[in-house]
Amino acid sequence: MVQLVDRPTEQRFIHAGVSWDNFKAIQQGFADSPGIRLFYFAGELEILSTSPEHEIVKGNLGYLIEDYLLGQGVEFVATGSFSQEREAIASVQADESYCFGTKKPIPDLAIEVVFTSGGPDKLQRYSALGVAEVWFWQAESISVYCLRAGGYQQASESQFVQGIDLDRLAYCAALESRSQAVKAFRA
C-alpha cells in the first residue's frame, strides 16, 4: 500500500525590526537545534520548526533528484541546507540546494518544501542572494522559478535538471517510504 505523508502542523514565528547583529546572535543560539530553520530578510526574522513529514519529503526530493542527475550524467555538487547569506540583507536555509559544474558560494538551485508557510513569497530573499533557480514543493506539486533581469519568473521546467518529470517527482516525494518513492519514480 502506498502511503502519502500526513499534513503536519509546523510552528512559525516572524519578528520585524531585527538587526543583522541580533539575527546572527539568535542564529548562533539555534546552531545545535535540529529541525529549526532561520530566515532573515531586510530586518525580518522568521523561525520555522520542521516536522518529520517535512523531512521525509525533503529527503525523498533530494534522493530522487540526485539519482536522476546521476543517471543523466550531470555534474553537480549537493550543498544541502547550509545557510546562504548576504551580510545585513538576507539569510536563507533551503531544504536542498545544488551547484552545477563546480561548487559555488551561492547555489544554482534551491528547493523549498512548503507545508504551512513560505512559497513564492520567499523569492525576494533568494533574489537578494542571486540564486538562479528556486523550486517550491507544495501539496504534491512543484513550482519552478527562474531568476531573470526583472526578477523571478515562473517556468514550466528547470534550466538545470532538464527532462525531469516534475509532476511525478512531486508525487513520489510525498510517499512515506523512500523505497516506494524510488520504485514509483523509476517506473
Does residue 20 have a pLDDT over 80? yes
pLDDT band for position 98 (cuts 50, 70, 90) = very high
Does residue 5 have a pLDDT over 60? no
Q: What is the 3-state secondary structure (H, E, C) of 44-67?
A: EEEEEECCHHHHHHHHHHHHHHHH
Torsional sign, CA 79, 85, 90, 91: positive
Which residue bears the cell 539569510?
A: 91
Q: What's the rounded Cα separation, in Å, for the pair 21 and 18?
A: 8
**What is the per-residue pLDDT for 37?**
85
pLDDT band for position 75 (cuts 50, 70, 90) = very high
CATH fold for the domain made of 52-186: tt1808, chain A (3.90.1570)
* pTM for the structure as a whole: 0.89
Q: What is the DSSP string of 74-125?
A: --EEE-TT-EEEETTTEEEE-SEEEEESS--SS-SEEEEEESSS-GGGGHHH
For the chain, how far is it from start to end, CA to CA, in angstroms? 16
CA distances from 44 to 32, 110, 161 (A): 22, 20, 32
- Residue spans of the domains in the chain: they are 52-186
Determine the longest span between alpha carbons in the chain, in angstroms.
50
| pLDDT tens-place string over residues 112-167 | 999 876 677 789 999 999 999 999 999 889 999 999 999 999 999 999 999 999 99
Does residue 6 have a pLDDT over 90? no
**Which residues lie across from 40 on neighbouring strands?**
45, 91
Q: What's the rounded Cα separation, in Å, for the pair 89 and 106?
A: 14
Q: Which of 23-27, 157-161, 167-171 has the lowest mean pLDDT?
A: 23-27
State the average pLDDT for the chain: 91
pLDDT band for position 61 (cuts 50, 70, 90) = very high
**What is the per-residue pLDDT for 48?**
85
Retrieve residue 142's grid coordinates.
Answer: 512543484
pLDDT band for position 34 (cuts 50, 70, 90) = confident
The fraction of the chain above a pLDDT of 70, given in percent, is: 93
What is the mean pLDDT of the segment spanning 39-66?
A: 92
Q: What's the rounded Cα separation, in Å, for the pair 54 and 95?
A: 9
Phi, psi of 177 (to 5 degrees): -90, 125
**What is the per-residue pLDDT for 9?**
61
